[in-house]
Structure formats: C-alpha cells, structure tokens
Homo-oligomer: A and B are copies of this chain.
C-alpha cells in the first residue's frame, strides 16, 4: 500500500548539534552552565551523540569541554563530540593548534567540517582542490592516530555535488579512506528539496563505500523531510537540533525526525521510554535557551494536539483517534481542549466538566460560551489561563465567594538615571516602586503598602500583605511566571495589554489572565484573580469560608512592609 520503510538498521546514529550549530540561532546566547544543563537533558533524551561546541575557536566551548572532561555531567547515553575545521591550508594537522584543540577537548569523537564544493575551496578557502583533499586526509588520519573517532561533515555537499559531482564524491572517499566513521552530507544553504536529496544520497551511496549521514537546514521548509529522504536513500546518521534551533531558518528539528522514524517507521532509536519524555525535555531545554519552542511545533508544541474547532471536539468525545495522527502521550504531550470562540458548547461542556461543573444544560452552556466570546473579543485568552476560566464559570454560576473587596490601589515609581543604563548588570537603586492598596477582607478594612523592584512586584506585595491578616494562607502564594503581550501591535502605546500570571502555593500552579489599557492595570487584574483562585482552593486549609463583609467605617491600618 504505502511505501514500505526499510527494516531498522542495526546501527543508527541520532546526532544532536543543538550546542554547536543550534547555538548560531539569532537570539540564542549560551553560557557554559547553560551548555552543561542542556547536555544533561540531551543525554536524558537518549541521543547517541552530543556535539558540544568548537573548542579552541570559542573560549566558552573550550571551558565547556574541560568541565565535561572533569565529569561535570556524567553521560549515560550520549557520546560527546568536539567540532572543528580541517587543518589550515599549507600546515600539517599535527602542527595546527585548532586541530590539537579537538584532541585536547578529550571528547571521544571529533566531527570535522570539510569543504566539498569546489567553488568554496577556491573562493572561501582560497586554495587548490588537491590541497583541500590533503587537508581532509591529513586531519582525519591525524585525529584517528591520536585515538579519537572521527566523523566528517561535508559542507555544501549537495550544491557541490550538483556543480562538480566527481569532486564532491572524491572528498567523501578521501574522508572515508582516511578513517572517518561517518561522512555527513550537509545541505548547508538549506536549498534542497526531498527528491533531490534522495537522488544525491543514493548516488553517493552507490559511488562510495562510506557510511553516510545527513545534516539539513530548513530554508525551503523541508529539513525534516530532507532528512527522512536521505535515510530512505541509505543514510544511517541523522543530525539535527532540539526545537530546530539554528542559523537562519534553523536545523532539522531532531525530535520530529526521531519521532517520525520511531512512530511511523517503527524504528526503536531512543532508549526504551525516552520518547515519552520528549515534550518535557524539549521544553526543559527551551527554559535554558530562553527560546521557547513554537506552540505549533510538531509533537512537542503546546498546541500541537490542541483541538479548537467545535466540530472536532464533538468527534473527539467519540474517539480521539478520529482526529489525531498519534496518541500524544507517546511523546509526553497532551490532547488539550481549547476554550475559545470557535469552540461552541461541546468544548465548554468538556472543559467545565474537567473542572467539576455540570454544564449539560444547553442554555447555561450557551450563555457561558457567549461570555467567553465576549471576553476573548476584548483580549482575554482562556486557552492558557484555566484558573481565570474557572473564575469566569463561577461568576456566571454565582458560585464565587467574595473573599475581599478592593477599594483602590496606587502605584508610585521613581528613577534617577545616572549614566548609561545597564553597563553590564542590574542598576540596583536606580528605581524603586511602592504600592498602596485599600481593601476590605472579613469585615476589616485596611490600607497597606508594599514595595518591590517593579510595579508588579509591588502590587503583589501590597495585595499579599493586605490579605495576610484575614487569610494567613496567602503567605505561601508566590508568583512563578509573568508574561506580557501587547495586543493591537503597531498602535504605539495605545494598545491593549494582556498579562498572564502563574502563581504557586507550593502544592499547585495556576495561571490567570488580565487585560487592560496598560501593563499595570492588566497585571492588577491577573494578580487579584490569582489570589482569589488561590483562596478558593485553599478552603481545605482555611475552613471558615468568607461571607459578605460589612465595611468597618473609618477603620484603616497602615502597614509598612519590607520588600518581599
């Protein structure tokens, strides 16, 4: 029927270059500590090789390899790989300090990049085609003689093969004959399409006896497909990066490649149970890089199994496999029912019942659906803010106790610009913020002040302190994440601002949303809903539920508070 995939190769390499090629992405800046953290996560994912960087050329990388050699991360699955060039033109590999750096890195594997496109040899390296071959042979055999396993990346291979196939193949042969275990064919400019990759890899496999690998970039949107095409044509070594990090459009996204081979071809490439950790690990790596995976990223994206259209939601209630190509649990992801204005009653009912509310009454469900649509039109989003959705439900169902009643809040910030802003660190005393809140809780009115290193900090401090007397449990509440988005982008400072706040009480995490004309207003809303939700679910610890309070006239308590 459909194309029969080949049986699983006996030895297949999953080679990660997040820390080397991936790190060339715009906006990505990794410290040595970051690299070590990512190395541990990649090892946990179970990749066979972690290309850690370019020792000698990049001082941070030299330090990284030294730390790895000292046991900073004990690898259980992966082999560490150091990356570098072929030796310099006209020098002996044995004399080239950058070649020595590969060996000195003490990584068991060296991956060296060689020119395989004649024009690059002549124009970028400015040497002869013969000298380039000598550079390949010399560097590979030298590193082998020093005890490292060697892989060779043939840079610009596909473009080179098109312009001068004989030379490109000669580079492959030379590398293999000098002892390179794998010769990796690189689509460095990323301009290939899958049928072309398939043809060229097949041609190379037929004309040489080298073990072949593939290194693809996403400039035509086909990096994953190009990688699979190379595998279909005989490659048994795939390179990529987690979350597709990399220069320009990025490298082939490694989890997508591996998940496709495991789940579609049935090839067990990762250690048993590792694929189930893929979503967690991809996001954990993103926490370190500070560049989150796209919500739409295949397999591991937050939205990649999220069902929005009301139609699909009804069908999913019948059989999840009707609308999913795999069970998201096999990659550690979730099928999410999104609450949105496309959802219709089915989604709202499912979501409500997940939260313990019976919304089977059609009119009720319709009323709530309308409310959600109205709020979303104003900029709210409930897809990422389950706690706010629950509060919305409770408000509509009149099931929300009135824990506190805020009369007013005021925020004051001042700054004393001294010089250049941040020469290289935090400004310290350059600005400080104070917030006063007046509210009533359990019948007692108070006006308190809180301070912080910024407006949201200060709002939080003030609110927490205002509620502490009535609800001691708020002492455990803390903000763990804060995200701002300017809606109506492009309208200067006249836009709507949406804030998402994640709060914890030490046991659970919850997210609330706030929308306003400015970031402070939006933050206030998300914050007070966060406290409301926290109090609601802390009832078990706080058995005397709050009832409608009377205002204690003229009763105020002024409190100063240290910065929390």
In the bound assembly, the distance between CA atoms of A375 and B119 in angstroms comes to 38
Q: Which of A3, A426, A433, A454 neighbours the largest number of chain B CB atoms within 10 Å of its CB?
A: A454
Contact A298 B256 (CB under 8 A): no
Q: Of all chain B residues, which has the CB nearest A318?
A: B123
In the bound assembly, the distance between CA atoms of A307 and B188 in angstroms comes to 13
Q: Which of A375, A415, A516, A525 neighbours the largest number of chain B CB atoms within 10 Å of its CB?
A: A415
Contact residue among B2, B223, B305, B493 (Cβ-Cβ distance under 8 Å from A200): B2
Contact A518 B453 (CB under 8 A): yes
CB-based closest 7 A-B pairs: A454-B518, A191-B325, A225-B225, A221-B224, A221-B256, A2-B196, A3-B195
The stretch that binds B, out of A242-250, A273-281, A537-545, is A242-250
Contact residue among B226, B315, B375, B417 (Cβ-Cβ distance under 8 Å from A422): B375
Contact B378 A298 (CB under 8 A): no
In the bound assembly, the distance between CA atoms of A490 and B509 in angstroms comes to 12
Contact residue among B3, B188, B408, B430 (Cβ-Cβ distance under 8 Å from A415): B408
A287-B489, A422-B515 provided; 13 other pairs, C-beta below 8 A?
A23-B342, A27-B383, A194-B229, A221-B257, A244-B296, A290-B489, A407-B416, A408-B416, A410-B412, A413-B455, A456-B518, A460-B493, A482-B493
A165 within 8 A of B: yes
A26 within 8 A of B: yes
Contact A26 B338 (CB under 8 A): yes
Q: Of all chain B residues, which has the CB nearest A492?
A: B479
Contact A376 B524 (CB under 8 A): no
Contact residue among B298, B374, B422 (Cβ-Cβ distance under 8 Å from A423): B374
Give the A interface residue count (CB, 8 A): 151
Contact residue among B29, B193, B290, B341 (Cβ-Cβ distance under 8 Å from A29): B341
In the bound assembly, the distance between CA atoms of A478 and B35 in angstroms comes to 41
Contact A247 B521 (CB under 8 A): no
Q: Which of A318, A325, A409 neighbours the largest number of chain B CB atoms within 10 Å of its CB?
A: A325
A selection of 11 A-B contacts at a CB cut-off of 8 Å is A123-B315, A194-B228, A225-B225, A248-B306, A378-B422, A408-B416, A421-B514, A421-B516, A427-B517, A453-B494, A481-B492
Taking CB atoms and an 8 Å cut-off, the chain A residues in 185-231 that contact chain B are: 188-191, 193-196, 198-200, 218-226, 228-229
A91 within 8 A of B: no
The distance from the CB of A386 to the nearest CB of chain B, in whole angstroms, is 14
A24 within 8 A of B: yes
Hey, which chain B residues are within 8 Å of A377, CB to CB? 29, 31, 424
In the bound assembly, the distance between CA atoms of A539 and B454 in angstroms comes to 36
Contact A306 B421 (CB under 8 A): no
The distance from the CB of A351 to the nearest CB of chain B, in whole angstroms, is 14
A324 within 8 A of B: yes
The distance from the CB of A269 to the nearest CB of chain B, in whole angstroms, is 16
Given contacts A26-B338, A260-B193, A395-B420, A2 and B244 within 8 Å (CB-CB): no
The distance from the CB of A121 to the nearest CB of chain B, in whole angstroms, is 11
Q: Of all chain B residues, which has the CB nearest A227?
A: B221
Contact B453 A517 (CB under 8 A): yes
Contact residue among B322, B325, B478 (Cβ-Cβ distance under 8 Å from A124): B322
Hey, which chain B residues are within 8 Å of A200, CB to CB? 2
Hey, which chain B residues are within 8 Å of A326, CB to CB? 191
Hey, which chain B residues are within 8 Å of A379, CB to CB? 422
Contact B253 A221 (CB under 8 A): yes
A469 within 8 A of B: no
In the bound assembly, the distance between CA atoms of A409 and B322 in angstroms comes to 60
The distance from the CB of A436 to the nearest CB of chain B, in whole angstroms, is 9
Given contacts A304-B249, A479-B493, A457 and B518 within 8 Å (CB-CB): yes
A484 within 8 A of B: yes
Q: Of all chain B residues, which has the CB nearest A200?
A: B2
Hey, which chain B residues are within 8 Å of A425, CB to CB? 378
Contact A119 B515 (CB under 8 A): no
Q: Of all chain B residues, which has the CB nearest A484?
A: B484
Contact B309 A247 (CB under 8 A): yes
Contact residue among B198, B303, B517 (Cβ-Cβ distance under 8 Å from A431): B517
A406 within 8 A of B: yes
Hey, which chain B residues are within 8 Å of A297, CB to CB? 249
Contact A225 B484 (CB under 8 A): no
Hey, which chain B residues are within 8 Å of A298, CB to CB? 218-221, 249
The distance from the CB of A254 to the nearest CB of chain B, in whole angstroms, is 11
In the bound assembly, the distance between CA atoms of A250 and B301 in angstroms comes to 11
Contact residue among B338, B482, B519 (Cβ-Cβ distance under 8 Å from A495): B482
Contact A519 B162 (CB under 8 A): no
The distance from the CB of A417 to the nearest CB of chain B, in whole angstroms, is 5
